[in-house]
Amino acid sequence: MFQASPTGNAALDAIAPADSKFSYGFDNQRYLVKNDYRAAYLNDAQSNPDWGVAYLRGMTQYAPVTAANPTHTLRQALKANDLRSYTPTMPTLLCGGNQDPMVFFDVNTGLINQLWSRQNNTNLKYAMLDMDISNQATRGKAIYHSQGLSTVQDTTLQATAMQQAFAQRLQLINTNATTIAKASGATDAQAQQAAQVALLSSYHTLVEPYCETTARAFFDTF
DSSP for residue 33: B
Q: Categorize the per-residue pLDDT at 15 as very low, low, confident or very high, splitting at 50, 70 and 90.
A: low
What tens digit of pLDDT does each residue of 178-204 get?
999 999 999 999 999 899 989 999 999
Q: For residue 136, give the 3-state DSSP assignment.
A: helix
Region label for 171, one of left (φ > 0), alpha (ψ between -120 and 50) or beta (otherwise)? alpha
pLDDT number for residue 14? 73
Least confident of 10-19, 93-102, 114-123, 188-197: 10-19
Strands (E) in the chain, as ranges, are 2-3, 26-27, 92-96, 126-130, 144-147
pLDDT at 118 over 80: yes
pLDDT number for residue 215? 97
Q: Is the dihedral of CA 160, 166, 171, 172 positive or negative?
A: positive
What tens digit of pLDDT does each residue of 135-146 get?
999 998 999 999
Whole-angstrom Cα distance, residue 14 to residue 6? 10
Q: Categorize the per-residue pLDDT at 12 as very low, low, confident or very high, splitting at 50, 70 and 90.
A: confident
